[in-house]
Amino acid sequence: MTTVAPDQVGTALRFPQGFRWGAATASYQIEGATQEDGRTPSIWDTFARTPGKVFEGHTGDVACDHYHRYRDDVAMMAELGIGTYRFSIAWPRIKPDGSGPVNGRGLDFYDRLVDELLAKGIAPMATLYHWDLPQVLEDRGGWTNRDTAYYLADLAAATVARLGDRVATWTTLNEPWCSAFLGYAAGVHAPGREDPTAAFEAVHHLLLGHGLSVQALRAGGAREVSLTLNLARVRPDDPADPHDLAAVHLIEGLHNRLWLDPVLRGAYPADMLALFRRFGADHAIRPGDDAIIAAPIDFLGVNYYQPARVRAALGVDGGPANPGTEGAEYVAQDLPVTAMDWPVDPSSFYELLIRLSTDYPGTPMMITENGAAYDDVLVEDRVADTDRVGFLAGHLRAVHQAMAEGADVRGYLAWSLLDNYEWGYGYGKRFGIVHVDYDTQRRTLKDSARWYAAVIGRNGLD
């Protein structure tokens, strides 16, 4: 893969030859068929049925029915010129009891999907874990149980054995910050626990599972192995205030350094280890774990959606999803927002990519998710999602600028291909470049999809 700087002529931007363009999805968000072909419940099936946890009690039982409509969805990707499709493996389909025998019928689906992608000239990119832990494993402790890390590696071995001859690129985990802190500390994601000790235990076991899975994937012949993190660009409210800078360092510690340092530098940062000890989770860390977690990866997946601003404030903290951040407070920003109320500022994306390339030199990156939810309206077979086009264009220009200044970014995957089940928001938020009518399952290309197809076709923006 070339790392030549992208070209810029006037306002037109061109990316290097070989730059990967694609789109991403996740199994629970689109597949449906939650009770077919041997699949057992995941923690999200359970969480979605817990009163008050998900918008209007929505579940992923049907979602986008991709399990049955994948051929049409792949044909649509080919029409758009998508070259890489990132999907995730539903753990409860492959290992219905979490840790035992492989369910061949579950792997058959991904076999068919991969063959269909390759037939259309689309490179498959498989994510092992995008949050749908089998409920039977949560019943045994979930990510607070060290065994779960080894079960993930078993899943990796079984999946690469079946698909590795055709799937070149693999991701171990998607956004483990969300799994640990939203799922085990804040309780707003499955499994819905509110225990900071459990969250830090989950942090370590997720990272251990990543390292063990890298080993299993390599042993199975995987050509590219990666880890995808949702990283934060956190700015101080007052850049001249040392207290604000200290607050930023603390928040960035939980969002960035806690994950990046053990994978790319071989050890947890000292201040993050102090949080493990403070919350009584340091017992989870055993001799030799650091070396496993630091198994080399081929690139870092970067998911990015919004910036943050933080200031020092006595008596407050960053909230339940950020345990140990007393004295750090999030500050409202005077910026346009998406339908999620997330602020939009592409310059923060550029700053993050430059920061990563400076702090972790020699680390190739791929943008594995970037997108926005807006209140889309389907009118006469058209969704004029101008805001989304503006969001994507602004963030692609930020990527281009960072690459021109030395950031080694190898590709960009839009989130998401389809409107889908948006976790705790159910079907109330739409991120897709393709509109889905959930009653009829009819797909309609939004203006953003047609715009993105043109970007792919010219390998850049005009």
> Which residues are annotated as catalytic?
175, 369
Backbone dihedral angles phi then psi of residue 312, each to the nearest 5 degrees: -80, 140
Q: How many CA atoms lie within 13 A of 367 on its CB side?
A: 31
Structural contact between residues 74 and 116, judged by C-beta atoms closer than 8 angstroms = yes
Pairwise CA distance, residues 129 & 26, whole Å: 9
Catalogue the E-assigned strands of 75-217.
84-88, 123-129, 169-174
Structural contact between residues 282 and 273, judged by C-beta atoms closer than 8 angstroms = yes
Which tokens sit at 240? 């001249």
SS3 at position 328: strand
Pairwise CA distance, residues 199 & 282, whole Å: 12
Which tokens sit at 347? 């310059």
Structural contact between residues 19 and 410, judged by C-beta atoms closer than 8 angstroms = yes
Pairwise CA distance, residues 456 & 185, whole Å: 40
Structural contact between residues 352 and 403, judged by C-beta atoms closer than 8 angstroms = no
231 Cβ neighbours under 8 A, 6+ residues apart: 255, 256, 260, 302, 303, 304, 352, 356
Structural contact between residues 434 and 449, judged by C-beta atoms closer than 8 angstroms = yes
Q: Which contiguous run of DSSP H or E holds residue 246?
A: helix 242-252
Which tokens sit at 215? 């080993």
Which tokens sit at 276? 């493990």
Structural contact between residues 162 and 170, judged by C-beta atoms closer than 8 angstroms = no
Pairwise CA distance, residues 19 & 13, whole Å: 13
Closest CA to 417 of 457, 455, 446: 446
Chain Cα centroid distance, residue 427: 19
